[in-house]
Chains A and B, each alone.
Chain A
Amino acid sequence: MKPERKASVSDLEINKTIHEPARLKIMIYLFLTDFADFVYLMHQTGLTQGNLSSHLSKLEKEELVCITKEFVEKTPRTIISLTEKGRADFNEYRDSVLQLLDLSQM
């Protein structure tokens, strides 16, 4: 019977889409919520409108977030939420990073 091999740093895969600092911030704030709008995310992440918009587009392309647009009293509002895949991927990303940190302390 072969002894079970311990996971090494090279075994761990880090989701590069989430790993980017600005997108990681967005993912963390969305992970805490059911949904948030564009203005809320802008304040929390400290990103500019254009910057946040481009990061959200990238996350949407990867199917990590769901973006819906609506008009409230003639004002546009963009509601963003994590998809099931986004939530699962973020949990996976957290596990990978925690494992990596554990390995680095060995």
Chain B
Amino acid sequence: MNDHDLRKLKQEKLFFYLTVDGLAETGAGIFLVVISLVLLKMNFFIEDIKPATGFTEIAGSNAIPLIIPLFVSLVILKRKVTYPRIGIVRFRATMKGVILVVTCLIAVLLLSVILPPYIQPGIEGFILYAFLSLCLIVPGIQYRSFRFVLYGCMLMAGSALTVLLNTFLAQWMILFLSGVVVTVSGIVCLKRFLRTYPVLRNEKE
């Protein structure tokens, strides 16, 4: 077993460990649904108001107060639901992995904040979503987790439709439906996880 095999095994185990319970997806799905409901309340698309700021910016500004409670809930649920079932592990971080994550974050930051004033409106969102969808599709194929391929394709198709249709109603529908699909998929995963991994009692040593 050489270094390459061990690295591949670690990545596979890490991906499995982070996604097997479906909690992160459920959280992400709820996040999208809540954002879309907040936008629904704001009546932007019903009255067809087109403010200077775009859909992504409005959705983003409303998302910020939601992130912290969702993250805290995720941590608590992981502690109560996931860890007693599949245990706790901390994978060794390699310099290459850290560089990859930092590069991805910088790319997202560039696409979402720095580039928009310089390129055609709508295109920056499409590039950003295309990049994010690739971040879902590639590991999905690599680790044979096809629900991630589905999320990636959905994100790609949604972002293309958003650019093509360019109405708040269409954008809102895509956001809401994506949220529902991801939430349902996450809940199904969570249910399967709870059935497959019962809590182990009487740990012997």
Measured CB to CB, the residues of A under 8 A from B are: 28-29, 31-44, 49-50, 53, 67, 69, 75-79, 94, 97-98
Contacts and interface: CB of A to CB of B under 8 A. Distances in A.
Contacts of B89: 33, 35-37, 40
A77 B203 contact: yes
Contacts of A32: 6, 9-10, 13, 91-92
Interface string B139-161: 00000000000000000000000
B204 A49 contact: yes
Interface in B114-147: none
Interface residues of B, number: 21
Interface centre among A28, A39, A50, A75 (most CB of B within 10 A): A39
Looking at chain A's contact residues, is the secondary structure mostly helix, strand, loop, or mixed?
helix
B77 to A, nearest CB: 15
B2 interface: yes
A49 B203 contact: yes
5 contacts: A32-B9, A33-B90, A49-B202, A76-B203, A94-B2
Q: Shortest 4 CB-CB distances between A and B: which pairs?
A: A40-B87, A39-B87, A36-B89, A32-B10
A41 B13 contact: no
B136 to A, nearest CB: 24
B2 A98 contact: yes
A10 B13 CA distance: 36
Nearest to A56: B205
Contacts of B13: 29, 32, 44
Given A32-B6, A43-B86, A77-B203, A94 B1 contact: yes
A34 B86 contact: no
A28 B84 CA distance: 22
B197 to A, nearest CB: 8
Nearest to B205: A78
Contacts of A35: 89-90
B95 interface: no
A34 B88 contact: no
Nearest to A98: B2
A53 B92 contact: no
Contacts of A98: 2
Contacts of A41: 87
B76 to A, nearest CB: 12
Interface centre among A32, A41, A44, A50 (most CB of B within 10 A): A32
B16 to A, nearest CB: 10
Contacts of B197: 43
A32 B202 CA distance: 27
A84 B204 CA distance: 26
Contacts of B204: 49-50, 53
Contact of B1 (A28, A40, A67, A69): A28
Given A38-B205, A49-B204, A76-B203, A28 B9 contact: yes
